[in-house]
Structure 1
């Protein structure tokens, strides 16, 4: 696992290496309730990769979950993520400006996490 934070904050755990087992182990530490989602997503990505004959589905799965761990392990990203989710879920619908703002913030958090792990 790498230990160099790139955001100046106190991380809950070091950033894991980019391997399925390291990411799964890290997720088990920071968000164990999401392990089932990770496994279901992996099976879906594997089936699609076999069907299409393209490894890109597995690479996308790994990047997605590496980014999810990045969000959960960093208090700054985690707080932004949870606030954006609360904003989205607390709105009256897609026409609500708070919904759009929350979705923009969710995308920004995801983008920052992907850039951090890429």
Structure 2
């Protein structure tokens, strides 16, 4: 894998869109997510022998990794969420949460290799 530049920071590219490749990328570049990733995989797929949840699983963890691989973007999203939780003005808090959600959705649009 090569690295790409997003918002001035060098971040690893997105892996192939398979559970195995995503798990390897998480283990290498965002290990703080690994325990939850594996717990979710075990609970919803491995222990049930049901492959129906795989697309939803991949969508969730694709987005989580896309955000976590870019520390500055991840910090901005978490700052917005934390600030919104403390904001007494509903309209401002809502705007912060909406912006955090928009950033999460944009990050999750990354394609393999980007």
TM-score normalised by L of structure 1: 0.69
The structure where helix makes up a greater share of residues is 1
Structure 1: stretches of 5+ with no match in the other structure: none
Instruction: Note the 1:14-33 alignment, pairs <5 A.
Output: 14-33=13-32
Relative distance call for 1:3 and 1:32 in structure 2 (3 A) is closer
- After superposition, residues 1-118 of structure 1 pair within 5 angstroms as 1=1, 3=3, 7=6, 9-46=8-45, 50=50, 55=52, 57-91=53-87, 96-117=90-111
Name stretches of at least 5 consecutive residues in structure 2 with no aligned partner. Answer: none
Structure with the larger strand share: 2
**Greater RCO (CA < 8 Å, at least 6 residues apart):** 2
The TM-score, its normalising length taken from structure 2, stands at: 0.71
Q: Distance in 2 between matches of 1:102 and 1:82?
A: 10
RMSD across aligned C-alpha pairs, in angstroms? 2.9
- 3-state SS, counterpart of residue 11 of structure 2: coil
Kindly provide the CA deviation profile for residues 15-60 of structure 1, in whole angstroms up to 9, marking residues without a partner as x. Answer: 222121221222223332222211222234326782xxx63x2112
Number of equivalenced pairs: 111
